[in-house]
Amino acid sequence: MTIRCEKVRELLGGFHDNELQGREFRTVSEHLKVCAGCAGELKRLETMSRLLKAHYEELAGKEDLSQVWSRVSAAIETPGVSDGREPLLERIMKIFALPKPAWAIAGAVAVVVVLMLASLPGDHMSTLAANDCIIDKVDSENCSFMLYEAGATKMKIIWVIDQGSGETEQQTGVTS
Amino acid sequence: MIIVPLRKSLVTLATVFAILAIVFFANVASAKDEGYGGSARITVYVIEASNGVPGVDPEIREIVEQFEGAFRYSTYKLVSKIPKKVGLGEEEKFSLPGDRELVVLCRGYKHNRIKLNVRIVEKRKDSRELLNTDFGIVDGGTMIIGGYPHRDGKLMLAISADM
């Protein structure tokens, strides 16, 4: 028996149950055309399946089915499963038993969301000072003005100097 | 054997979620910036700064502490406090001492800042415009416009904006 035969035999069960798809299905079906051993194994599998099916059908014929529903009802009414739902712990365990690719996809989505948040336009509030202010324009026809930024909170100050009054920076008390 | 359809449904679910996330955050970003349809609460503190008896009115102490050191005035007195709600694209007038008027226009909200146009108009002498400024201030922030003579000192206007 070759390594290929070993692999094919691992998949024979699935092939027999029509559960294989794509490449796996092609690999097995092509191998069966050229390998008498594996084809024979499939035949044995089919024979066994047929015999088992016949056996169970025979057993089912003998079984008193009128008792089945009363047993099912009794099981449903058992405390803890009376609402037809699985216990919480089992449901949580099932979530964590998901295949790894699912977690990889969820992780990728989370990274995309974080990157999108980081790339939102403009500065984020957390990086702005309490009084952060951007002055785009200051116009005054008759007065001069000075711009200041004071303190840790970056408070912006527009200080107007009236030309008519002849005051100077010294007189206003501005220390800049 | 059940893994294959489960993976397929998870991939579909993840794709749908990613698309929804993109649409949601795109909408949030545009709503915050361009589509802001609310109003801003503007509070104008009219302050008289002078070199009289040293002291700061308790109501403006927090504001004065933030610019203290930039000026050499010893007295900061609150003349008036005027809170007003200014709608997007609307103008509100704040009366100032000395026949002056502060006119605030709310221009919107962009890049986490409330965008305002502020004008100081002298009501005498054919409504001479003393100052015209555009600025964007962070929500809850305060900026100062000052220097106009008032009694024995100068007038300072602390303009606070929040949404």
B96-127 pLDDT tens trace = 998 889 999 999 988 889 999 999 988 876 77
Domain co-membership, B8 together with B78? no
Domain co-membership, B54 together with B113? yes
Residue where a domain terminates, one of A57, A72, A87: A72
Beta pairing class for B113-122 and B128-138: antiparallel
Measuring CA to CA, which residue among B112, B131, B113 is closest to residue B121? B131
Residue range of the domain that includes A27: 3-72
* Token pair listed for A129: 């000072």
Residue in A130, A136, A157 nearest the CB of B146: A157
Spatial contact of B145 and A160, defined as CB atoms under 8 Å apart: yes
Spatial contact of B133 and A137, defined as CB atoms under 8 Å apart: yes
ipTM of the complex: 0.78
> Cβ–Cβ of A175/B21 closer than 8 Å?
no
Name the residue with higher pLDDT: B4 or B15.
B15
Beta pairing class for B141-150 and B128-138: unpaired
Residue where a domain terminates, one of A72, A89, A109: A72
Domain co-membership, B69 together with B103? yes
Residue in A102, A134, A148 nearest the CB of B113: A134
What is the pLDDT, as a whole number, of residue B106?
Answer: 93
Domain co-membership, B44 together with B28? no
Q: Does B17 touch chain A (CB under 8 A)?
A: yes
Domain co-membership, B45 together with B30? no
Average pLDDT, stretch A139-147? Answer: 82
What is the pLDDT, as a whole number, of residue A162?
Answer: 67
Provide the residue count of chain A.
Answer: 176
Average pLDDT, stretch B126-155? Answer: 89
Nearest chain B alpha carbon to A19: B1
Residue A149 confidence (pLDDT) above 60: yes
Residue in A21, A121, A141 nearest the CB of B4: A21
Average pLDDT, stretch A89-100? Answer: 68
| Total count of domains within chain A | 2
What distance in Å separates the CA atoms of residue A34 and residue B72, rounded to the nearest whole number? 100
Residue range of the domain that includes B156: 39-162
Query: How does the average pLDDT of chain B come out, rounded?
Result: 84
Residues of chain A found within 8 Å of residue B151, distances taken between Cβ atoms: none
* Token pair listed for A8: 């094919």
Q: For residue A173, what pLDDT band results from cuts at 50, 70 and 90?
A: very low
Q: What is the four-CA torsion angle of B71, B76, B80, B84, rounded to 10 degrees?
A: 40
Domain co-membership, B65 together with B143? yes
pTM of the model: 0.54
A75 to chain B, closest Cα gap in Å? 26
